[in-house]
Amino acid sequence: MKRVGAVERQTLLALVLAIPIALLVVVTFSPFRTTPADEVEPEPVAPKPKSKQVTPKGKGGPNAKADPASAAVPPPREVGEVAKREQQLEQAQVGCKRISDAVTAYAMSPANPGASDEDRWPIEPGHLITPPFGGTSFLPNGQKDLVDPWGKSYQFRIAGKKDGADILLVFTTAPDGTPVSQFGIGAKAQPQE
């Protein structure tokens, strides 16, 4: 029995000594080791290049006040107007696409009596709201869907594609003259295919 107790004591002593040594090794060689702030070397930072100031002739030197009219950043009012214009152009394109999709649904309707593709298209925009062959409106918001963000009616006409096929072009024009269709805004408003 004494021998068993001595072995147990020896094993216990080895464990008591081994654990702190193992912790010391782990802490010393750990990649997550922390060091006091005064021992940390700062990372080298490249110096910022000095900007060259170009002053137009007769406009003063580096201490001259900037002319607000020549600033690159527009005033907040103009930023709001630009954002509103962009939003209206996007809304107009969505409106054109909605009408184009409604015309496609109108032409494909089983109730539509037209004999040819052209005969199946609506004769006027109001036919998308009240189809002459009966049924519900092809536009979810009715008459509102036929008016662009500037209060004008959307227009549509047959347009020729580059491959010679005819396509229905739904379009409008922004107050500044920018064309908008289901295909895009500006130069992208024309069918590309």
Identify whether the C-beta of residue 111 lies closer than 8 Å to the C-beta of residue 133. yes
- Which pLDDT tens digits describe the chain residue by residue (193 residues)? 445 555 566 665 555 565 656 555 555 555 555 555 455 555 555 555 555 555 555 555 555 555 555 556 556 677 788 899 999 999 999 999 999 999 999 999 999 998 887 788 888 889 999 999 999 999 999 999 999 999 999 998 888 777 778 888 999 999 999 999 999 999 999 887 6
In single-letter form, the type of residue at position 23 comes to: L
Cα–Cα distance, 168 to 104 (Å, whole number): 9
Residues 6+ away with beta carbon under 8 Å from 139: 98, 99, 102, 128, 129, 145, 146
pTM (whole model) above 0.75: no
Tokens of 167: 């396509």
Longest dimension (CA), the chain: 111
Return the closest-CA partner of residue 158 out of 106, 122, 110: 122
Q: Could you tell me the residue ranges of all domains in the chain?
A: 77-189
Place of tokens 């990372």: 43
